């Protein structure tokens, strides 16, 4: 699974409350998607394009475990989310809703806003095409890749119910 696009860079310790603010939790997805991460970068919800890559620092997606934050990020059309480390419920939610996620460890300054980047989820490689540098993260567990290929957890459970019976 490979993704290539423009990089949107965010910092450390970003909570899900900043992906989807409390006051929007009950709004329909078409409203949510207009506000994703707007406090941290007002251009993001306006300028993000399908296939772009969100690249954050440590403990991305901490705080509330509600999957709506993951879904709103997915609904922007990004191809993949990469972080130094993820908060675990957020990481789990990414695969369960079908949003590819790659954890790459410590890499301050590796890619900046607007750089072209490529992510290969199978090998764990994250390449900055603008600066021609590459780092290798942890390839996702095969169970999670299977979940992504099925289109998320619910699709997996429907296609292979014996796993959960």
Partner 1 sequence: MNLVEKILARASGRESVEPGEIVVAKVDRLIMHDLSGYLTSQVYEKRVNTPIPDPERVVMVFDHHFAPPTEQQADVLRHNRQWARKHGLTLYDCGNGNLHHAAVRNGHIKPGMIVVGSDSHTPVHGTLGALAVALGNDSHAGTVLPYGKAWFKVPETTRVHLEGTPQPGVTPRDVALWLVGRIGEGELNYRAVEFGGPYVRGLSFWDRWLFPLLCVDLGAKCSFVEPDEVTEAFVRTLPGAGPDLLVRGDGGEAAQVLRFDVGEVGVQVACPPTVGNVKPVGAVAGTPVQYAELGGHGGGRLEDFRAAAEVLAGHRVHPDVRFHLVPSSREVFAEAAREGLVLALHEAGAMWFPPSTGSNQAYNMGALASDEAMISTHARNFPGRNGSPDASMYLASSETVAASAVAGVIAGRTA
Q: Does 163 bind partner 1 (CB under 8 A)?
A: yes
Residue closer to partner 1 by CB (options 1, 157) is: 157
43 binds partner 1 (CB under 8 A): no
The answer to whether residue 63 forms part of the interface with partner 1 (CB under 8 A) is: yes
Beta-sheet pairing, 116-120 with 133-136: unpaired
Cβ-based nearer residue to partner 1, 56 or 127: 56
CA 7 to chain centre: 12
**In the set 74, 76, 93, 128, which binds partner 1 (CB under 8 A)?**
93
Nearer to partner 1, 6 or 18 (CB): 18
Stretch that binds partner 1, among 42-50, 117-125, 128-136, 154-162 (CB under 8 A): 154-162
Q: 113 with 48: CB under 8 angstroms?
A: no
> If binding is defined by CB under 8 A, does position 67 make contact with partner 1?
yes
Q: Residue 2: beta bridge partners?
A: 120
* DSSP-assigned letters across all residues of 91-121: HHHHHHHT--EEE----TTSS-TT-EEEEET
d(CA 12, CA 47): 22
28 contributes a contact to partner 1 by CB under 8 A: no
- In the complex, the residues that contact partner 1 under the rule CB under 8 A are 13, 15, 17-18, 21-22, 25-26, 39, 58-59, 62-68, 70, 85-89, 92-93, 96-97, 141, 143, 152-154, 157, 161, 163-165
């Amino acid at each position: 699974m490979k993704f290539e696009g423009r990089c949107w860079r965010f910092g450390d310790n970003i909570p899900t409350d900043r992906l989807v603010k409390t006051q929007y939790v009950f709004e329909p997805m078409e409203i949510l998607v207009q506000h994703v991460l707007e406090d941290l970068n007002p251009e993001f919800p306006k300028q993000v394009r399908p296939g772009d890559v969100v690249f954050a620092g440590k403990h991305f997606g901490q705080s509330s475990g509600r999957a709506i934050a993951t879904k709103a990020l997915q609904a922007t059309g990004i191809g993949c989310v990469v972080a130094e480390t993820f908060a675990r419920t957020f990481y789990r939610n990414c695969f369960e809703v079908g949003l590819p996620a790659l954890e790459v460890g410590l890499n301050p300054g590796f890619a900046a806003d607007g750089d072209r980047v490529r992510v290969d989820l199978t090998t764990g490689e994250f390449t900055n095409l603008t600066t021609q540098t590459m780092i290798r993260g942890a390839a996702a567990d095969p169970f999670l890749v299977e979940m992504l290929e099925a289109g998320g957890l619910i699709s997996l459970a429907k296609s292979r119910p014996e796993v959960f019976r």
